[in-house]
Every structure is written in C-alpha cells, then in structure tokens.
Amino acid sequence: MAISYSVSPRNPAGVFNVPKIVYNNLMFKHFLQSDEWQKYEKLEGHQTFTEETADFSYLAIKHNTKLGSYLFVPYGPSLKTGNAKNNDPKNTEIDITTAEKSLQKALESLKKLAKRERCFFIRLEPTVPLEAKIMANYACVKSTDIDPAHTWLLDLSPTEPELHKNFTQGTRTCVNQFPKKGLTVEVSHDPADIRYLTALQHKLAKQKNITAYSETHLKNELSQPFASLYLVRYNPDTDQTLKNPDPSAPMSSKPRPEKNSIIAASLFFDDLKNSTRFYMQSAADMDYKYLPATHGMLAAAIFDAKQKGQKFFDFWGIAPDDAPQNHPWAGFTKFKKSFGGFAKNYAGTYDLPLNKTKYTLYKKIRTINRRLRKIK
C-alpha cells in the first residue's frame, strides 16, 4: 500500500553519504561521544578532553559551578565488551568481566584528568548496562539520570509498508489522516527557524510548569551538520474535513490553527557512523492536540531516515518497564512504542565523588534547585 506523507525541504543540506559501521576495539561509541558532539560542546563554550585506548575511550566535558568544576562523560566512557557485535543495538550479549576491567581502566584515566583539572567529581553514563553493585565497587553513586537510561529503538531494515504495518492501529490511522487534515511536514537546516520550536516549547513550559531550553542552545544544535528541524504546517485549503463536512454532525467547537501556522516542531540528530537517527527536542501546540501533527511528523522522520540509509531510529528515552502508570513519562512512552521497536537499556547516570565535602554540598544545592523549579 502507498503511504501518504509529504516532506518539503526548506533548505536541504545536500547528499547524505552514510559510511559503513566500523567495529572499533569491540566498543560501541554513542553519538554523544563522537567528534561531531565534541565540536558542538566547544561551540557551547565547554572545555573538552578525549582519550582512546584498546580498552576504553571517552569524551569528557568540563562543567563549571560556583562550588567548582566537574567532568561529565555523556553516554560514556565507551567500554570494551569482548563482543564483535557490540555496535549492533539489538545485541544483548556482553562480557561483564571484560566491561568491568575496561571501566576500571577508564576511571583511572578520568581520575587523573579530574585531578589535573581540579574537578571535585566525575559524572559518567556507561552504555554497557552495568548493575549498581558493580558501579559501587568503584565508589560510583547513582545520580538523577541526565540522559535516559532506557530508550526505544526501531529497526529500519523492513520496507516502508512493513514499518507502517507495525505501527499500532491508532498510530496508523493518525498517519493516514495527517495529509487529509491539512498538515504537511517541512525540513529546515536554517538556525533562524528554531524560533518555531522555542515558541512552542515556551508555551508548553507555561502550561505544564516545566523548564524550556534556551533559544541560543537550540540554535547552536540546529547549526550543526547532524541536525534537522522538522516543522508541521497547517493549511485549511487542503483540510478535507472542512471541504466535506458531515451535515449530520454537530458544529465542532474545536479551535482551528491559523493558515500556514506551525503547530509542531522537532529536532532530529543523524549519527552517520552508527547509522542512527535520534528524536530529540520536540513540542506541539496543545490547543490543537486533536490533530495528528506529532504522529505524522514522527512517521515522516522515520521514513525519511530509512530513505537516507539510516539503519535505526532512536526515540530517545522511555519509562522503565516496571514504572508505575502515573510515571511522568508514561504518556510519551506509550506514544513512542506505538511505532513499533525494541527497548535498549544503559547503566544510567553515576557520580564518582573526589571531594566528598564539596560533592555533598553540591547534591543538597541541586536538590533545592530542582524543588524550586517545580514550585515556580
């Protein structure tokens, strides 16, 4: 069956050349440990450090606080696991003994770096799902996750009709209805267009009492060659529900978007080395939640990634399997899973305190700040 969706590039970035996956020292290196991400962190004004050996590699980012500095290793360090299929997201076979030895060597290197840079703790997120008791053996304490410990991936190897068939019935209906509702998807690489996403995020932040990303931060992300901004535009001229209304149905009291307005936006990152597209910052106008804007936008991003040669689509974060029904991520976890796929688990975020007095004070201040943000 033909799948109806439309992607209109606003300013295409050129040909997408996807290199082959390289198995480097039997280590999986996440996109947040890549050279591309290092360039972005430097643009944000952060000092970065790298090391690569046969047993581990890392990109460490120095963050400064009023109490002092710390090192952050997002989705790292990358660890040798002894498995040649470690770069395959579906692979769950891990030699824990090898991974633990690699972690020990990585921590030794990071501690030397932290001492030289006068950092009072190290924050790390191994992509190998090491248990808390193993991390505790190296004085690492569990912290609030910065990057998700649980994510949801979609294998893009099936055909487009097969991918579409694997969506839940509700999601398939939304995707099929998308063009009939006057909606189209545009793709932009122009940093100036980030205003659409920030406007939607700030409106959503007010409604849900959450913190939105700054426009400068998001603009810096979109300025990178790996980023694309997807925009959903509404046009009543192509809204078939307005052209052929059901005469027996009561008049709808639902608000209609203004002509050519943007009602949903999302950033996507492309990791060419691991052939993966990531679903990143996103927002939609909740006034028009009855329109299938996010379903159609995400489906377009999935099919577009497949056409460009990507192998996997990473939905970036879901609630854990044992999460209660009232978990704050329950809603969008159900939404992401409705496109089909499989779970991928990481170790989560851990801290290695080097100055316990400063670290204890830092944790107390961090807890207070989080509570203050909730009661704004």
CATH number at residue 187: 3.40.630.30
DSSP summary character for residue 32: G
- Indicate the SS3 state at residue 277: strand
User: Can you tell me whether residue 123 is helix, strand or coil?
Assistant: strand
Could you tell me if residue 133 is inside a domain? yes
Same domain assignment for residues 186 and 299:
yes
Whether 242 and 338 map to the same domain: the answer is yes
Q: What is the tally of structural domains in the chain?
A: 2
Residues 163 and 142 in one domain: no
The answer to whether the pTM exceeds 0.85 is yes
Backbone angles phi, psi at 55, to 5 degrees: -105, -25
For residue 11, is it within any domain? no
Same domain, 93 and 213: no
CA R_g for the chain: 22
Could you list the residue range(s) of the whole structural domain that residue 84 is in? 31-148+347-374
CB atoms within 10 A of CB 354: 19
Residue 119 lies in a domain: yes
Same domain? For 247 and 358 the reply is no
The verdict on 197 and 266 lying in the same domain is yes
CA pair distance 185, 314, nearest whole angstrom: 20
Residue 14 lies in a domain: no
170 and 121 in a single domain? The answer is no
> Which string of DSSP letters, residue by residue, matches 61-92?
EEEEETTEEEEEETT--EEB-S-TTTTSTT--
The tens place of each residue's pLDDT in the chain, 376 residues long, gives 334 445 555 544 433 333 333 334 457 899 999 999 999 999 999 999 999 999 999 999 999 999 999 999 999 999 998 765 556 677 667 888 999 999 999 999 999 999 999 999 999 999 999 999 999 999 999 999 999 999 999 999 999 999 999 999 999 999 999 999 999 999 999 999 999 999 999 998 888 777 778 899 999 999 999 999 999 999 999 999 887 666 665 556 788 999 999 999 999 999 999 999 999 999 999 999 999 999 999 999 999 999 999 999 999 999 998 888 889 899 999 999 999 999 999 999 999 999 999 999 999 988 887 776 654 4
Q: Do residue 307 and residue 170 come from a single domain?
A: yes
